Amino acid sequence: MHIHILGICGTFMGGIAAIARQAGHRVTGCDANVYPPMSTQLEAQGIELIEGFSPDQLLQFETMPDLFVIGNVVSRGNPLMEAILNQGLPYTSGPQWLGEQVLFGRHVLAVAGTHGKTTTSAMLAWILEFNGYQPGYLIGGVPLNFTVSARLGEGKYFVIEADEYDTAFFDKRSKFVHYRPRTALLNNLEFDHADIFADLTAIETQFHHLVRTVPGNGLVVVNGEEPALERVITRGAWAPVEKFGQDQQNAWSLISQDADGFIVVREGKEVATVRWAPDSGVMGRHNQLNALAAIASANHIGISPSNAARALAEFKNVKRRLETIGVANEVTVYDDFAHHPTAITTTVDGLRRRVGQSRILAVLEPRSNTMKLGVMKAQLPNSLEAADKVFAFGASTGKETLGWDLNEVLSPLNIKEKDRAMAFDDLSALVNAVANEAKPGDHILVMSNGGFGGVHQKILAAIQGKAKSS
């Protein structure tokens, strides 16, 4: 079958393309911006890419594709989509294709939640891989224990990062309702995606729909300390529920140890100990809970907590999760995907646990749809409280423009210390300010869910240049 994917260069759709190619299909695709690293990853797998959404690309094929798979970046008015509709060509969404053609008949382990989906999915996939299960997986990031973010797999198990964002312009349900998991992990739940959800209750309804698809002989692993998830489960659960959390009243709990290792406790009994690899970059209580949830989920398919812990001792984290980008003049620069205030808090706190009293310079780009709408802006100052200095960027023009005053929102951080937080609408000015502030021994934490204009390397170069000239 020839599949043509619209919006192929996104992480999710790129993963679907890779899986379809591994399944033996001919795969082509198009996107508005076709560039590395996704473009090179796809082309290396024999996937032909076309720049843009011109309907003329339909004329390039000797025979018309058998199916068009539509990413949720595509909306009505897209010229190629309009041509597909006008010509009555067959189309479906990425999640529906995946559910019907790849996940059907397999034991799906789905990881849902506002935060930690990528890391927890990577942990769970690695636990299965380490223990010889050869799972398929689709993860919204690059897990460092693997070479790619998605694969078909050889066994009956498939681990998927289950996103609550909508499926396509013609299917406004959350992606995860298409996956029909037998093991569903609900990691946490907060308000997010303000561009498509009116409030937290609306998201809870989608999670309720996910729970409704879990069969009676399946399992729902749920964070027992999240009020929103408690409300979801109260609305109805037709499969057994196992709760996890820090409190030992949960079926699965933990006892934190030095160096961010922890003891796994099940029903009040210590059953395993997790020790992170020294160079893994995994840190913080949130990652302990992520790992605990992955251990509980793996236990459902027969992997003991002790065998899961052995796997996690070799877990290497995910790209863009407190990833060290480089060091210049004894200043370390990190990259992290954090963009929601809760994620920012846990990321900064996690780095603080690692570096102790050393200075942390936080560099933030609030560019998610939720942040641009200003829904979470009041929470930003508190989320950055553990940082010594804050440098924030908000574009003054273009689609990334904020609809609110970044400098004003961050002003509470300046009450006790002048210029502790500064806002910029010029990237070069921000880079210069960070480089001028940085001192040997500092740690610069860059947080954005986008490329941030390559600011990481620009900061490293500016610090290096400053050191040479002094």
pLDDT at residue 338 tops 80: no
pLDDT at residue 104 tops 90: yes
Neighbours of 40 (CB within 10 A): 11
Proportion of the chain above pLDDT 90, given as a percent: 54
Q: Does 323-469 carry CATH code 3.30.2020.10?
A: no
**pLDDT value of residue 349:** 82
Is residue 36 very low, low, confident or very high in pLDDT (cuts 50, 70, 90)?
low
Angle at 6 between CA 172 and CA 109, to 5 degrees: 60
pLDDT at residue 372 tops 80: no
| Chain center to CA of 178 | 19
Which homologous superfamily is 105-312 in?
Answer: Mur-like, catalytic domain (3.40.1190.10)
**pLDDT value of residue 238:** 95
**pLDDT value of residue 259:** 64
Burial label for 63, CB within 10 Å (0-12, 13-18, 19+), is: exposed
| Chain center to CA of 129 | 20
Q: What is the pTM of this model?
A: 0.78
Residue 318: DSSP 8-state: B
**pLDDT value of residue 199:** 83
Peptide bond into 37 cis (omega under 30): yes
pLDDT at residue 268 tops 80: yes
**pLDDT value of residue 296:** 98
pLDDT at residue 422 tops 90: no
Name the residue ranges covered by the structural domains of the chain: 2-93, 105-312, 323-469
Per residue in 5-20, pLDDT tens? Answer: 999 988 899 999 999 9
Side chain identity at residue 231, one-letter code:
R
Q: Give the residue-averaged pLDDT of 204-213.
A: 95
**pLDDT value of residue 193:** 65
Is residue 344 very low, low, confident or very high in pLDDT (cuts 50, 70, 90)?
confident
pLDDT at residue 370 tops 70: no
| Tokens linked to 360 | 């942390």
**pLDDT value of residue 244:** 96
Render the burial of 185-215: b for 16+ CB within 10 Å, e for the rest.
Answer: bbbbbbbbbbebbeebeebbebbbbbbebbe
Is residue 261 very low, low, confident or very high in pLDDT (cuts 50, 70, 90)?
confident
Per residue in 193-205, pLDDT tens? Answer: 666 677 889 999 9
Please tell me the distance from the alpha carbon of residue 127 to that of residue 60, in angstroms, as a whole number.
Answer: 44
Q: Give the residue-averaged pLDDT of 425-447.
A: 90
Is residue 348 very low, low, confident or very high in pLDDT (cuts 50, 70, 90)?
confident
- Which of residues 449 and 164 earns the better pLDDT score? 164
Average pLDDT in the chain: 89
**pLDDT value of residue 210:** 96
Q: Give the residue-averaged pLDDT of 50-64.
A: 93
pLDDT at residue 400 tops 70: no
Neighbours of 353 (CB within 10 A): 13
Please tell me the distance from the alpha carbon of residue 394 to that of residue 384, in angstroms, as a whole number.
Answer: 16
Report the CATH fold assignment for 2-93: Rossmann fold (3.40.50)
**pLDDT value of residue 246:** 87
pLDDT at residue 116 tops 70: yes
Proportion of the chain above pLDDT 70, given as a percent: 94
| Tokens linked to 250 | 């949960």
**pLDDT value of residue 396:** 60
- Which of residues 261 and 137 earns the better pLDDT score? 137
Per residue in 220-256, pLDDT tens? Answer: 999 999 999 999 999 999 999 999 998 889 999 999 8
- Which of residues 292 and 350 earns the better pLDDT score? 292
Q: Give the residue-averaged pLDDT of 33-38.
A: 70
**pLDDT value of residue 441:** 92
Is residue 337 very low, low, confident or very high in pLDDT (cuts 50, 70, 90)?
confident
Is residue 170 very low, low, confident or very high in pLDDT (cuts 50, 70, 90)?
very high
pLDDT at residue 126 tops 90: yes
- Are 147 and 216 in contact by the 8 Å Cβ rule? The answer is no
pLDDT at residue 107 tops 80: yes
**pLDDT value of residue 464:** 84
Is residue 399 very low, low, confident or very high in pLDDT (cuts 50, 70, 90)?
low
Q: Give the residue-averaged pLDDT of 267-274.
A: 94
